[in-house]
Protein backbone atom coordinates (compact mmCIF):
# COMPACT_ATOMS: atom_id res chain seq x y z
CA UNK A 1 0.00 0.00 0.00
CA UNK A 2 1.27 3.42 -0.98
CA UNK A 3 -0.91 5.26 1.56
CA UNK A 4 -1.62 4.99 5.28
CA UNK A 5 -5.23 6.19 5.11
CA UNK A 6 -8.01 5.85 2.54
CA UNK A 7 -10.71 8.52 2.42
CA UNK A 8 -14.08 7.86 0.76
CA UNK A 9 -16.85 10.11 -0.48
CA UNK A 10 -20.32 8.62 0.12
CA UNK A 11 -22.58 9.54 -2.82
CA UNK A 12 -21.80 7.41 -5.89
CA UNK A 13 -18.79 5.90 -4.15
CA UNK A 14 -20.15 4.06 -1.08
CA UNK A 15 -23.81 4.40 -2.02
CA UNK A 16 -25.52 5.26 -5.29
CA UNK A 17 -27.12 8.70 -5.21
CA UNK A 18 -29.28 9.07 -8.32
CA UNK A 19 -31.76 11.92 -7.96
CA UNK A 20 -34.17 10.64 -10.62
CA UNK A 21 -34.13 7.08 -9.30
CA UNK A 22 -34.79 8.30 -5.75
CA UNK A 23 -37.74 10.45 -6.84
CA UNK A 24 -39.12 7.51 -8.86
CA UNK A 25 -39.59 5.71 -5.53
CA UNK A 26 -42.06 8.42 -4.49
CA UNK A 27 -43.68 9.54 -7.78
CA UNK A 28 -46.16 7.69 -9.95
CA UNK A 29 -45.42 9.60 -13.16
CA UNK A 30 -42.45 11.02 -15.04
CA UNK A 31 -44.20 14.39 -15.15
CA UNK A 32 -44.50 14.51 -11.35
CA UNK A 33 -40.91 13.34 -10.95
CA UNK A 34 -39.58 16.08 -13.24
CA UNK A 35 -41.63 18.75 -11.47
CA UNK A 36 -40.47 17.59 -8.04
CA UNK A 37 -36.85 17.35 -9.18
CA UNK A 38 -36.86 21.01 -10.26
CA UNK A 39 -38.15 21.99 -6.81
CA UNK A 40 -36.57 19.65 -4.26
CA UNK A 41 -33.08 19.66 -5.79
CA UNK A 42 -32.96 23.37 -6.69
CA UNK A 43 -31.12 24.38 -3.51
CA UNK A 44 -29.49 21.05 -2.61
CA UNK A 45 -26.01 22.59 -2.54
CA UNK A 46 -27.17 24.83 0.33
CA UNK A 47 -28.48 21.77 2.18
CA UNK A 48 -25.09 20.11 1.69
CA UNK A 49 -23.36 23.21 3.07
CA UNK A 50 -25.77 23.42 5.98
CA UNK A 51 -26.50 27.06 5.21
CA UNK A 52 -30.26 26.46 5.23
CA UNK A 53 -32.31 24.59 7.83
CA UNK A 54 -33.35 21.17 6.49
CA UNK A 55 -36.93 21.24 7.82
CA UNK A 56 -37.49 24.81 6.64
CA UNK A 57 -36.17 23.91 3.19
CA UNK A 58 -38.50 20.89 3.07
CA UNK A 59 -41.54 22.94 4.03
CA UNK A 60 -40.64 25.63 1.47
CA UNK A 61 -40.55 22.89 -1.18
CA UNK A 62 -43.92 21.53 -0.01
CA UNK A 63 -45.38 25.03 -0.36
CA UNK A 64 -44.27 25.16 -4.02
CA UNK A 65 -45.87 21.89 -5.19
CA UNK A 66 -49.51 21.29 -6.16
CA UNK A 67 -51.81 20.03 -3.37
CA UNK A 68 -51.76 16.45 -4.75
CA UNK A 69 -47.97 16.27 -4.29
CA UNK A 70 -47.64 17.88 -0.86
CA UNK A 71 -47.70 14.62 1.13
CA UNK A 72 -45.41 12.92 -1.41
CA UNK A 73 -42.92 15.76 -0.99
CA UNK A 74 -43.02 15.54 2.81
CA UNK A 75 -42.47 11.79 2.59
CA UNK A 76 -39.55 12.29 0.21
CA UNK A 77 -37.78 14.62 2.64
CA UNK A 78 -38.26 12.12 5.48
CA UNK A 79 -37.36 8.94 3.63
CA UNK A 80 -35.05 9.61 0.65
CA UNK A 81 -31.85 8.39 2.40
CA UNK A 82 -33.26 4.84 2.39
CA UNK A 83 -32.95 4.87 -1.40
CA UNK A 84 -29.22 5.57 -1.54
CA UNK A 85 -28.29 2.00 -2.46
CA UNK A 86 -24.99 0.62 -1.06
CA UNK A 87 -22.39 -0.17 -3.74
CA UNK A 88 -21.30 -3.68 -2.84
CA UNK A 89 -17.87 -3.55 -4.53
CA UNK A 90 -16.94 -0.50 -2.48
CA UNK A 91 -18.29 -1.97 0.76
CA UNK A 92 -16.25 -5.13 0.13
CA UNK A 93 -13.12 -3.05 -0.54
CA UNK A 94 -13.64 -1.10 2.71
CA UNK A 95 -13.88 -4.40 4.61
CA UNK A 96 -10.70 -5.63 2.90
CA UNK A 97 -8.88 -2.44 3.91
CA UNK A 98 -10.09 -2.77 7.49
CA UNK A 99 -8.97 -6.42 7.61
CA UNK A 100 -5.54 -5.30 6.41
CA UNK A 101 -5.38 -2.74 9.24
CA UNK A 102 -5.73 0.32 6.98
CA UNK A 103 -7.73 3.20 8.52
CA UNK A 104 -10.64 4.39 6.38
CA UNK A 105 -12.39 7.75 6.60
CA UNK A 106 -15.52 9.32 5.15
CA UNK A 107 -15.57 12.86 3.72
CA UNK A 108 -18.94 13.55 2.17
CA UNK A 109 -21.19 16.40 1.20
CA UNK A 110 -24.62 15.59 2.59
CA UNK A 111 -27.58 17.31 4.26
CA UNK A 112 -28.09 16.92 8.03
CA UNK A 113 -30.94 14.48 7.39
CA UNK A 114 -28.60 12.06 5.60
CA UNK A 115 -25.82 12.47 8.16
CA UNK A 116 -28.25 11.59 10.97
CA UNK A 117 -29.76 8.67 9.04
CA UNK A 118 -26.35 7.20 8.10
CA UNK A 119 -25.26 7.27 11.73
CA UNK A 120 -28.54 5.84 13.06
CA UNK A 121 -28.52 3.03 10.48
CA UNK A 122 -24.91 2.10 11.25
CA UNK A 123 -23.76 3.09 7.76
CA UNK A 124 -20.83 5.00 9.24
CA UNK A 125 -19.70 2.28 11.67
CA UNK A 126 -17.14 0.87 9.22
CA UNK A 127 -15.18 4.14 9.15
CA UNK A 128 -12.47 5.25 11.57
CA UNK A 129 -13.61 8.84 11.17
CA UNK A 130 -16.56 10.59 9.54
CA UNK A 131 -17.01 14.13 8.25
CA UNK A 132 -20.35 15.11 6.75
CA UNK A 133 -20.61 18.62 5.33
CA UNK A 134 -23.90 20.09 6.60
CA UNK A 135 -23.32 19.60 10.35
CA UNK A 136 -20.05 21.59 10.14
CA UNK A 137 -21.38 24.12 7.59
CA UNK A 138 -18.65 23.63 4.99
CA UNK A 139 -18.59 21.52 1.84
CA UNK A 140 -16.25 20.15 -0.82
CA UNK A 141 -14.46 21.47 -2.78
CA UNK A 142 -13.86 24.21 -0.17
CA UNK A 143 -10.34 23.58 1.21
CA UNK A 144 -11.58 24.17 4.77
CA UNK A 145 -13.51 20.88 4.91
CA UNK A 146 -10.39 18.93 3.90
CA UNK A 147 -8.35 20.76 6.55
CA UNK A 148 -11.10 19.96 9.06
CA UNK A 149 -10.77 16.24 8.26
CA UNK A 150 -6.97 16.33 8.57
CA UNK A 151 -7.02 18.23 11.85
CA UNK A 152 -9.90 16.34 13.48
CA UNK A 153 -8.25 12.96 12.88
CA UNK A 154 -4.59 14.08 12.93
CA UNK A 155 -3.97 12.99 9.34
CA UNK A 156 -1.13 14.03 7.06
CA UNK A 157 -2.54 14.83 3.59
CA UNK A 158 0.35 13.12 1.80
CA UNK A 159 -0.45 9.87 3.67
CA UNK A 160 -4.09 9.92 2.53
CA UNK A 161 -5.74 8.81 -0.71
CA UNK A 162 -9.18 10.18 -1.62
CA UNK A 163 -11.91 8.47 -3.68
CA UNK A 164 -14.64 10.79 -4.96
CA UNK A 165 -16.88 10.78 -8.04
CA UNK A 166 -16.27 14.47 -8.83
CA UNK A 167 -13.06 15.71 -10.40
CA UNK A 168 -13.18 19.11 -8.66
CA UNK A 169 -13.27 17.41 -5.26
CA UNK A 170 -10.21 15.29 -6.08
CA UNK A 171 -8.37 18.36 -7.40
CA UNK A 172 -9.16 20.30 -4.22
CA UNK A 173 -7.64 17.48 -2.17
CA UNK A 174 -4.56 17.37 -4.40
CA UNK A 175 -4.05 21.11 -3.92
CA UNK A 176 -3.64 20.36 -0.20
CA UNK A 177 -1.32 17.39 -0.76
CA UNK A 178 -3.82 14.49 -0.75
CA UNK A 179 -3.73 12.29 -3.84
CA UNK A 180 -6.90 10.70 -5.18
CA UNK A 181 -8.89 9.20 -8.01
CA UNK A 182 -12.18 10.09 -9.69
CA UNK A 183 -14.39 7.08 -9.03
CA UNK A 184 -16.22 5.66 -12.03
CA UNK A 185 -17.39 2.44 -10.41
CA UNK A 186 -14.19 0.52 -11.20
CA UNK A 187 -12.91 -0.71 -7.83
CA UNK A 188 -9.97 -2.49 -9.52
CA UNK A 189 -8.72 0.89 -10.79
CA UNK A 190 -8.85 2.19 -7.22
CA UNK A 191 -6.95 -0.83 -5.89
CA UNK A 192 -4.28 -0.34 -8.56
CA UNK A 193 -3.96 3.35 -7.72
CA UNK A 194 -3.42 2.70 -4.00
CA UNK A 195 -1.26 -0.38 -4.53
CA UNK A 196 -3.63 -2.72 -2.70
Residue 10 domain boundaries: 5-16+84-194
Q: Are residues 75 and 95 in the same domain?
A: no
Q: How many domains does the chain have?
A: 2
Q: Are residues 91 and 177 in the same domain?
A: yes
If the chain, 196 residues long, is cut into consecutive pieces of 10 residues, what is the mean pLDDT of each piece?
Answer: 96 96 94 95 96 97 95 97 96 97 98 96 96 98 98 98 98 98 97 96
Q: Are residues 69 and 39 in the same domain?
A: yes
Q: Are residues 144 and 119 in the same domain?
A: yes
**CATH number for the domain that contains residue 116:** 3.40.50.1000
For residue 65, give every residue at least 6 positions away whose Cβ sits within 8 Å of its Cβ, in sequence order, or none.
35, 36, 39, 72, 73
Residue 135: predicted pLDDT: 97
> In the β-sheet with 160-164, what is the strand arrangement from edge to edge?
129-132, 104-108, 5-8, 160-164, 179-182
Last residue of a domain, one of 83, 98, 120: 83
- Run of H or E residues at 131: strand 129-132
For residue 10, give every residue at least 6 positions away whose Cβ sits within 8 Å of its Cβ, in sequence order, or none.
17, 84, 106, 108, 110, 114, 118
Residue 166: Cβ-neighbour burial (10 angstroms; 0-12, 13-18, 19+): middle
User: Could you give the angle at the alpha carbon of 112 between the alpha carbons of 110 and 170, nearest 5°?
Assistant: 20
Residue 12: predicted pLDDT: 97
Spatial separation of the C-alpha atoms in residues 64 and 51, rounded to whole Å: 20
Q: Are residues 103 and 30 in the same domain?
A: no
Report the predicted TM-score, pTM, of the whole model to 2 decimal places.
0.96
Residue 28: predicted pLDDT: 87
Q: How many helices (H) and strands (E) does the chain have?
A: 11, 7
Q: Are residues 75 and 98 in the same domain?
A: no
Amino acid sequence: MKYKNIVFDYGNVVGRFNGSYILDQFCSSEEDRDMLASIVYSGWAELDRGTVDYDEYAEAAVARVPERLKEVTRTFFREWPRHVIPLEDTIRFIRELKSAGTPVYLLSNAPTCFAEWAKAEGMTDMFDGVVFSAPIKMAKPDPDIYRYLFEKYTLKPEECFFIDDLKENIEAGRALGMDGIVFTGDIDAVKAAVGF
